[in-house]
Amino acid sequence: MTTASPLPSNFSATSTLPPGATAPSSLPFIPQYSFPPFFTLQPVASTRSSQLSSWSTHIQSYCQHNRIFSLTLVDALNTPLFHNAQIHRRLNLRDAKVILAWMASAEGGNRAEFISTSTTKSKKAASGEEDGGKCWIYWRRPEEWAAALEEWVDRTGQKGTVLTLYEIVEGDASLKEEFWNMDEDLLRKSLAVCVRRGKAQIFGGEGSEGVKFF
């Protein structure tokens, strides 16, 4: 049985923002992305821990740069996020789920969350075994998005104004904000944090909500 070759000695979690999936820019991928062993999870615990951390950094940076809030792994495997065509290396679905499960853990900083499409949250959904591993990628966690929303409302003088969900993520006033075009479900999760903090109140039913910030 052949074991994966060791990763380079300079394997680390340091990264810069990568280019987009369809229109490469001058922003480089992390250095590890060019090393074939990066695409196979390593058996040595210390190396594997560093590898998982680097994959987390890579995934967060890629998704932030491309404004990606959620992924379906079976689809993402064919994008530059998990496939380096230049060195002919691609992460397999099993290892991608392991990486996302680590990101979803406390050790991984809760930087991902698997999404269940069923009415009850199952163990399969929590581990990414359901639906090809659909998940949120938290390059900002909901509580961090909540803080960004509160800061934006304060900065733009919209406290006390009732805003629709559309206005928050699709309106002209938010066009240059990182939460522009955010998935509606993620926006609701983030607004729920604002409500728990006593910073906002939500009016109306699903599909016709209005939000007032205090």
What domains are defined for the chain?
31-137 (1.10.10.570), 142-213 (1.10.10.10)
Which tens digits make up the pLDDT trace of 176-203? 999 999 999 999 999 999 999 999 999 9
Amino acid 8: pLDDT = 40
Provide the pLDDT for residue 132: 56
Predicted local distance difference test score (pLDDT) of residue 116: 79
**pLDDT over threshold 80, residue 79:** yes
Q: Is the pLDDT confidence value at 122 over 80?
A: no
pTM of the model: 0.80
206 or 180, greater pLDDT: 180
pLDDT category at 213 given cuts 50, 70, 90 is very high
Q: Is the pLDDT of residue 93 over 70?
A: yes
Q: What is the pLDDT of residue 204?
A: 82
pLDDT above 50 (res 11)? no
CA–CA gap between residue 147 and residue 128 (Å, rounded): 28
Q: H or E stretch including 114?
A: strand 112-114
**Residues 160-171: tens digit of each pLDDT:** 999 999 999 999
Res. 92: pLDDT tops 60: yes
List, in sequence order, every residue forming a beta bridge with 52; answer none if it has no partner.
none
Q: Quick one: pLDDT at residue 206?
A: 73
- pLDDT tops 80 at residue 115: yes
Q: How far is CA 24 from CA 19, 49, 75, 80, 136, in A?
A: 5, 29, 19, 10, 23
Q: What is the rounded distance in angstroms from the CA atom of residue 77 to the CA atom of residue 128?
A: 14
* Range 62-87 average pLDDT: 94
Q: How far is CA 93 from CA 108, 121, 156, in A?
A: 19, 21, 43
Q: What pLDDT score does 47 carry?
A: 93
Q: Which residues contact 69 (CB under 8 A, 6 or more apart)?
A: 63, 136, 137, 182, 183, 186
